[in-house]
Structure 1
């Protein structure tokens, strides 16, 4: 079955959010939503999420899932805000517990912060499946960028998060805590083992040099032959050397500090203080 896919591009974070629809009904899932955040002022905005909510309502759709491919380090999730408006269950990979343990220490969260994934409605493991109406989704555990990264294979479409980018841009970085270039190479091979015609929808696009337009849809076959980091039969050792050297030169994402604190809580802000005020922490020399 071939799902209908509607993409929403957020230029501020280069993120693509997706609405994935059962072609034979009104059920849908929303993947990797964005809560707008201005770091300089510390203010949030819901314009990006409201675009999605408006479209879902216009189409008369029923949201069954709010899926996260991983704990994003470059944008805040709007899943709880959309859930309040439209319903649906928030899902992520079960290795979220590893991510929560790691960053719970980085942000000195103490014992009040639960590290068992209980902030999410559903924790997925390799081989799990779920339904969007009559449309089946299957879960691939594809770590490397983070320990909890998932690829959702829904009909003939695969939503790969940050594991793969467009063929002319390559693959995700692996230098965050818990990341691994060797794991990423193996995860990419798992994705490339899908049928060549499988549509791949990437989580970000940054317009590779020489390309004028943003893009987010490709295929397994195109990735196999054209991906500049893993295509054309590149070996694991070649990839690991390239990826590790490249990652050493990259700056941290602009929104990594607020994003991690919010996204490891399923898109919720930290607990307010006794005055109702919310604060995010800035760890010094930790990332």
Structure 2
């Protein structure tokens, strides 16, 4: 990672604040079953939009999927007359299945994720013994973003920043004055994401977080999850760089890298795996598609015994 794309992103954000460009309109859909915030961001001038971190409903006991969460997004997109240009994933999620392929069928948009998804595909391809038929080259996605890649949502300038640590492939997407940061940070009163999944790294997570915290204090941060911190009765998914720097219980100003790594490593050792990690990872490394059907026409999710 370098500071060059971060500087470019900062310049772009400051231009927006000075009135040199439109401010993105953002609508969030929260799925309480998986504690996931999916965001629809659009350019008010052109109605061009991006859908970020969508959710496919999945019932673990029966293995059945449904689309109630995604249908709410489709209804909003159609009601507002939006033109979806992007389906973006901040990373290969371990706690919910992506609805991106179904949403593409309904409203379009190119599917994009960080280029280091190939690392995640290789790691979990081995864990799940996915076989040679599973491509580990990111070809399930239409755009693999590298650090500093620039793109557009309508007339809105956007930049992709590589922020590994939670997983090797995490990306933050800065669109206008808003940054969609996936699982790097939670609300200030809840802290930060775990870093103990295969390929995760607490030290790298700290550095990625501090890269984001160099953005202007007023930058709006949109998170992927919320779990209600003790004493808070409502879910929340929007904060600012300034609020995180001042109040984040894990990485506020003054917390050292070594202190963070010690805290995060100790905390992660006590966490259980997410309830939906087995189906989620197998589907999400495939770009939201189910594993190939077997000879009876049915797709199956594998559960490795005593491996994770």
Question: In structure 2, what is the Cα distance between the partners aligned to 1:225 and 1:286?
Answer: 40
Q: TM-score, normalising length from structure 1?
A: 0.99
1:283 aligns with 2:307: no
Q: TM-score, normalising length from structure 2?
A: 0.92
Question: In structure 2, what is the Cα distance between the partners aligned to 1:41 and 1:273?
Answer: 18
Question: In structure 2, what is the Cα distance between the partners aligned to 1:46 and 1:120?
Answer: 21
Deviations for 1:54-107, whole angstroms, at most 9, x for unmatched residues? Answer: 110011100000000000000000000000111110000000000000000000
How far did residue 18 of structure 1 move? 0.3
Partner of 2:247: 226
How far did residue 274 of structure 1 move? 2.1
Deviations for 1:162-198, whole angstroms, at most 9, x for unmatched residues? Answer: 0000000000000000000000000001100101110
Partner of 2:67: 46
- Match runs of 1:215-254 below 5 Å: 215-254=236-275
SS of residue matched to 2:191: coil
Q: Unaligned regions of 5+ residues in structure 1, if any? A: none
1:58 aligns with 2:79: yes
Instruction: Tell me how many residue pairs correspond in the alignment.
Output: 287
Question: In structure 2, what is the Cα distance between the partners aligned to 1:41 and 1:126?
Answer: 39
Partner of 2:11: none
1:274 aligns with 2:259: no
SS of residue matched to 1:245: helix
Question: In structure 2, what is the Cα distance between the partners aligned to 1:248 and 1:139?
Answer: 31
- Equivalent of 1:72, from 83, 89, 93? 93
Q: Unaligned regions of 5+ residues in structure 2, if any? A: 1-15, 17-22
Partner of 1:122: 143
- Equivalent of 1:152, from 173, 180, 188? 173
Question: In structure 1, what is the Cα distance between the partners aligned to 2:112 and 2:254?
Answer: 33
Partner of 1:14: 35
Q: CA RMSD in A?
A: 0.6
How far did residue 24 of structure 1 move? 1.4
How far did residue 286 of structure 1 move? 1.4
Question: In structure 2, what is the Cα distance between the partners aligned to 1:165 and 1:251?
Answer: 18
- Match runs of 1:209-220 below 5 Å: 209-220=230-241
- Equivalent of 1:261, from 271, 282, 286? 282
1:32 aligns with 2:56: no
Partner of 2:194: 173
Question: In structure 1, what is the Cα distance between the partners aligned to 2:289 and 2:182?
Answer: 20
- Equivalent of 2:102, from 63, 70, 81? 81
Question: In structure 2, what is the Cα distance between the partners aligned to 1:179 and 1:250?
Answer: 14
Question: In structure 2, what is the Cα distance between the partners aligned to 1:276 and 1:195?
Answer: 52
Question: In structure 1, what is the Cα distance between the partners aligned to 2:284 and 2:307?
Answer: 18
Please identify runs of 4+ aligned residues in structure 1 that moved more than 2 A.
none
Question: In structure 2, what is the Cα distance between the partners aligned to 1:171 and 1:244?
Answer: 12
SS of residue matched to 2:111: strand
Partner of 1:197: 218
Question: In structure 1, what is the Cα distance between the partners aligned to 2:206 and 2:143?
Answer: 27
How far did residue 239 of structure 1 move? 0.2
